[in-house]
Every structure is written in C-alpha cells, then in structure tokens.
C-alpha cells in the first residue's frame, strides 16, 4: 500500500435521541472463573442477589469494510439481545445509507430487540461539519482501474480489491477526494462516484457517526458526550451514571479509540502518527475518569493491549498509560486462557496476530470474586455459510464491588 490516501481505507478495516436525518441529540430509551461461550445467558446472581455485570462488544456492522456486514445484521441483533449483563457497550453500530439518506436502522433494530431486557439506551449522532468531494478528472484513472480489476466484486469487498489492485490510482487522488470515496464505500462504485463528483459528503466514515451504543437494565442518568480529536473515523466518549440491580451506583464509560495502521503514512496534520492520535485520546479519557468519585467502569474497543501468553501487543505504550493511572483490567486479570478479542481464528479477520484490544476497566473500586467470559467465539450460519457474528469477540465480566 502506498500514499497516505490508502490509509483512509486501511484504517477503516480496523474500525476500528436522533431521527433518521442525522441530527445530533442524546437518546435515553425507556422502552478467577473463565468461560468461552456463545451462550450469554448464564446467571449473574450470587448469594447476595444480582452481581454487577458488564459487557463490551464491537459488532462490526461496517458495510464495505468488515465482511458480510449486511448479511450478519440479524445475527448481530439476535446476539446482542442475548447478552446477560447489566450494562452493555457496543461499538460499530454504524449508520446505514439508503440511496442518499443516512439512517439509524442498525441502532433502532438493536434497541427494539433489547427493549425487554435493557430498556435504557444512550447514543449520540454528531453534526457533520466538514464536507469533501472529487473532480471528474482525478477520479477517471481510478474508475478505469476499478471497473477493470474489481468488476463483479461484491460491494462489501470493494475496499480490499481497490487496495490490492488500484492502490496507485487511489493514492493519486486528493485527500479530500479519498475521504469522500472512503465515506461512501459499501455502495457500488458508480454510486460512490456519483456521490463525490460534483457534490460533497462528510469527511468521516458513516457520515461522521461514532458507532457507539450504550445499553442498560437500569436508567442512565447524568449523560455525557464528547467528541475526540481524530481523522477518518469519528471518535467519541459516552458516559452515564446508573444504579445497578445490585444497588451499586456506578459511572460507566463507552468508547472506541483510534486504530493503529502500520506501513502507511498518517494522513492527519494535527499528529504525526495513529499512535500519537490515540495517545491524546487515552490521556483525555484518563483525565475525565480521574475526575470521577463513583466506582467507574470503562468499556470499549481501545485498539491497544499488552503482550501476554498467546497475545501480540497492540500499541503497548498507550495501554500502559491505563496501568500507570491505576486502572484495573478485570477481564485480563481473571481470564486464564488466551484472552484474544481480535484473533486470527476469526473467519472475518485477515490477520496472523492475536490481540486483546477490547477491555473492561474498573477505577475507584476493587473488583471482588470476578469472573470473565469471552462471548460469541463460535460460528453461526450466515446465508448458508459458517461465519463469526463479528470480527471481534465480546467480553463480559461479573464481580462484586
């Protein structure tokens, strides 16, 4: 891969109360034991009553980037509805595009499916502030290559074909144009071109949406939302306070931080690398959590993790910042097997490495008698073929404060 524009596609391969118009607004919908499992309905009840439980899951509904995103939607919705945890932080519940309209069908489907068990939901769809586009002249060589090399390739696999066969042509377009094209991936190339030539679109994937969805069995109060500095993919923090069924009052954070892309030039101006961009996000997250006085649980896809038995490190210096801040990684502390969450064994992952990048951290409290589970590690039938539900495995922890 060459040129910084190729990073626009490569980065998204790691991807890492609103109406359908995409306007911003909060939504509060009132409507040392280990386990590897697709069965997420194990009891969380101990002798003292309901034990606090938390789960994080990157569902990978990234059309055009994670394979079978549209085909897996029903399986994702069903899986999320089966997670037995007091609070669930989901990532990559992206907006979907229907013709020229951005819609929140994925969000609505999950909220509807979890209404009986998790009637409280919080998400934010930010305003789109930057618009980018292409000229006919700069797109022409890329169009010739794509029509020749990627003819017949499914829309959801177009990004991989372009990287493999048309990297030179894609790298030759302007940064604004490449941002526009990447934001439209998941559509046929003719539609991508039509959207970007002679018009402008968001400079971020999914029309600037962050893909986060926080679900809870109990009301989410004192909601907080902050957009973080990032290029290519919008990165945000969601937070809220809830009183769990156990009676414990906790502060919960839900996030998805920038992914590291090796071998390509960082496309932003503010920082000199993906690692540096993520470091600023980590420092801000630690700063915010450091101001909390309640027991605080921080969940999400951090795109950073340590090296360990059976695990390859991912941005370990950034991960170490959490440890230096005194955070407790409940799952990694109690899980006795390889705690991989983004793994070479996953049918949706094209990688030879195994990484733990999805975490549940606890701050201002000491987890007692903790248990950790890896979720959705088995394949399911997706249109007649065996596939994992997402390119990530989920993580659930159960413990007392």
pLDDT tens per residue, the chain (401 residues)? 333 444 444 444 444 443 333 333 445 554 444 445 554 555 555 444 589 999 999 999 998 789 999 999 999 999 999 999 999 999 999 998 887 788 999 999 999 999 999 999 999 998 766 788 999 999 999 999 999 999 988 887 787 788 789 988 988 888 788 888 877 877 889 989 999 998 888 888 888 899 999 999 999 999 999 999 998 789 999 999 999 999 999 999 999 999 997 656 677 788 999 999 999 999 999 999 999 999 999 999 999 999 998 999 999 999 999 999 999 999 999 998 889 999 999 999 988 999 999 999 999 999 998 999 999 999 999 999 999 999 999 999 999 99
Look at residue 160 and tell me if it is in a domain: yes
How far is 220 from 239, CA to CA, in rounded Å? Answer: 9
Same domain, residue pair 276 and 319: yes
Same domain, residue pair 178 and 31: no
Same domain, residue pair 157 and 61: no
How far is 284 from 169, CA to CA, in rounded Å? Answer: 37
Q: Quote the pLDDT of residue 83.
A: 98
Same domain, residue pair 240 and 368: yes
Look at residue 115 and tell me if it is in a domain: yes
Look at residue 192 and tell me if it is in a domain: yes
How far is 9 from 161, CA to CA, in rounded Å? Answer: 11
Look at residue 210 and tell me if it is in a domain: no
Identify the CATH number of the domain in which residue 391 sits: 3.60.10.10
DSSP output for 313-372 = -BSHHHHHHHHHTT-EEHHHHH--S---SB-TTSTT---S--B--EEEEEESS--EEEEE
DSSP 114: T
Q: Quote the pLDDT of residue 48.
A: 40
Count the domains in the chain. 2
89 within 8 A of 254, measured Cβ to Cβ: yes
How far is 196 from 178, CA to CA, in rounded Å? Answer: 9
Q: Quote the pLDDT of residue 371.
A: 94
Domain span at 175: 130-202
- What Å distances lie between residue 326 and 134, 279, 289, 397, CA to CA? 47, 17, 11, 19
Q: Quote the pLDDT of residue 43.
A: 53
Look at residue 158 and tell me if it is in a domain: yes
Look at residue 349 and tell me if it is in a domain: yes
Look at residue 190 and tell me if it is in a domain: yes
Same domain, residue pair 316 and 348: yes
Same domain, residue pair 32 and 98: yes
Q: Quote the pLDDT of residue 22.
A: 35
């Amino acid at each position: 891969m060459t040129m910084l524009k190729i990073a626009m596609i490569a980065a998204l391969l790691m991807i890492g109360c609103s109406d359908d118009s995409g306007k911003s607004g909060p939504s509060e919908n009132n409507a040392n034991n280990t386990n590897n499992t697709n069965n997420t309905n194990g009891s969380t009840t101990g002798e003292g009553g309901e034990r606090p439980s938390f789960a994080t899951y990157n569902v990978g509904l990234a059309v055009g980037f994670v394979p079978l995103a549209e085909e897996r939607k029903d399986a994702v919705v069903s899986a999320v509805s089966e997670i037995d945890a007091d609070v669930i932080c989901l990532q990559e519940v992206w907006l979907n595009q229907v013709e020229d309209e951005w819609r929140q069908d994925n969000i609505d489907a999950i909220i509807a499916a979890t209404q009986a068990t998790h009637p409280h939901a919080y998400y934010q769809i930010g305003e789109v502030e930057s618009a980018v586009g292409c000229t006919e002249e700069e797109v022409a060589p890329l169009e010739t290559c794509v029509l020749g090399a990627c003819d017949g390739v499914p829309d959801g696999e177009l990004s991989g074909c372009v990287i493999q066969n048309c990297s030179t042509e894609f790298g030759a377009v302007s940064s604004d144009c490449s941002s526009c094209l990447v934001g439209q991936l998941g559509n046929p190339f003719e539609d991508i071109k039509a959207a970007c030539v002679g018009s402008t679109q968001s400079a971020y994937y999914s029309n600037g949406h962050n893909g986060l969805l926080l679900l809870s069995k109990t009301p989410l109060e004192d909601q907080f939302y902050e957009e973080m500095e990032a290029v290519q993919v919008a990165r945000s923090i969601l937070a809220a306070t809830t009183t769990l069924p156990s009676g414990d009052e906790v502060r919960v954070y839900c996030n998805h931080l920038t992914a590291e892309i090796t071998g390509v030039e960082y496309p932003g101006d503010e920082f000199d690398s993906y690692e540096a961009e993520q470091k600023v996000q980590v420092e801000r997250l630690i700063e915010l959590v450091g101001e909390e006085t309640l027991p605080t649980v921080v969940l999400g896809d951090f795109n950073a993790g340590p090296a360990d038995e059976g695990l390859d490190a991912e941005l370990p210096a950034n991960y170490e910042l959490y440890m230096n801040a005194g955070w407790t990684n409940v799952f990694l502390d109690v899980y006795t097997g390889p705690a991989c969450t983004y793994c070479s064994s996953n049918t949706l992952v094209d990688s030879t490495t195994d990484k733990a990048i999805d975490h549940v951290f606890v701050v201002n409290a000491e987890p007692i008698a903790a248990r950790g589970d890896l979720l959705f590690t088995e394949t399911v039938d997706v249109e007649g073929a065996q596939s994992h539900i997402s390119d990530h495995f989920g993580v659930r922890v159960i413990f007392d404060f």
